A and B are shown apart, each in its own frame.
Chain A
Amino acid sequence: MEKIARKNDIILIVVILAAAAVLYIGFNVFQRANTKEPVAVVTAGESVYGRFPLDEDVTEKVELPDGSYNVLVIKDGRADITEASCPDGICVNHRAISRQRETIVCLPNKVVVEIENGEESGVDSMTS
């Protein structure tokens, strides 16, 4: 009891601080691994046509059995339909999407593009 701290105390404190640091880094890595990349999920009719990560620029022509098509372009982290065979072109006029649960729908072709794991939109659910 003469001294305030002995060697064992120092070791204990160092071990605890090291454990705290390891846990901190471990939790951070774990959280990063669990955060999924945002993807654009393309559904044609009943089935999922494909999943396209928003961080890769890609141009995909979604072709359907009856010959109709939609051209999906992923650029700058946003998904957009730039060209389509449908008569009204609503999907083409729709702005590019990137936020959680945003969708572009092409009713004539039964094609839906939906964002999964996207960033939440800043607008709350009442106004959006």
Chain B
Amino acid sequence: MKTRKIAYLGLLIALAFIFSYVESLIPVHSGIPGAKLGLANLVIIVALYTLNDGDAFLLSMIRIVLTGFTFGSMAAMLYSLAGGIMSLLVMVAAKRTKRLTLTGVSVLGGIFHNVGQILMAILVLDTPSLVYYLPALLLAGSLSGVAIGVLGAAVTKRIRKIVIW
């Protein structure tokens, strides 16, 4: 049972890693710079609902470090870390209230990923006026959160059928 779990977590890490890469290849023309689907977040949320909170956190951190060193820059990794940690903390809290379904949790995760990144950017660049960008990122975060939530719910349902710890 332990081995199965390790294998499953490894699989998710690989998936999140490759999703980040695939996403970096797709040019997004949404009109909002920085807005993307957040495919990696799909894997995180599936982990959150099929494994436990700690595993999801581990997965998120490993994903960010791997992606940062492989495809990104140190600065990009810093933003990702801020977004990733903030997003995960909020998702765990939201999940624990048991008031929201996976979609709602995913929406919160999506927007707080953006909020975390913009806060880090404000700190690093010392530019408080970046706050003006927040409404656009809230909108983008909700949209991608809904998309990821719907996908995640479908995936989680199927995984739960075949994976039993």
Chain A 7-24, CB within 8 Å of chain B: the 1/0 string?
011001100110111011
How many contacting A-B pairs (Cβ < 8 A)? Answer: 62
**A9 engages B101 (CB within 8 Å):** yes
SS of A interface (majority) = helix
Considering the complex, which residues of chain B in the window 113-143 have a beta carbon less than 8 Å from any beta carbon of chain A?
A: 131-132, 134-136, 138-139, 141-142
Nearest A residue (CB) for B156: A1
Also in contact, A1 and B142, with CB within 8 A (given A9-B107, A23-B134): no
B85 at the binding interface (Cβ < 8 Å): no
CB distance from B159 to the nearest CB of A (A): 12
Checking A5, A16, A20 against B103 with a beta-carbon cut-off of 8 angstroms, the contacting residue is A5
Also in contact, A24 and B99, with CB within 8 A (given A4-B150, A12-B107, A16-B142): no
Q: How many residues of chain A get a CB closer than 8 Å to chain B's CBs? A: 18
B108 at the binding interface (Cβ < 8 Å): yes
Nearest A residue (CB) for B133: A27
A32 at the binding interface (Cβ < 8 Å): no
30 A-B pairs within 8 Å (CB atoms) are namely: A1-B101, A1-B102, A1-B157, A4-B149, A5-B101, A5-B104, A6-B100, A6-B104, A8-B101, A8-B104, A9-B100, A9-B101, A9-B107, A9-B149, A12-B100, A12-B107, A13-B142, A13-B146, A16-B107, A16-B111, A16-B142, A17-B142, A19-B138, A20-B134, A20-B136, A23-B135, A23-B138, A24-B135, A24-B136, A27-B135
Extra contacts, 17 of them, besides A4-B150, A9-B107, A27-B132 (Cβ < 8 A), are A1-B156, A4-B149, A6-B100, A6-B101, A6-B104, A8-B101, A8-B104, A9-B103, A9-B104, A13-B142, A16-B141, A17-B139, A20-B138, A20-B139, A21-B135, A23-B134, A31-B132
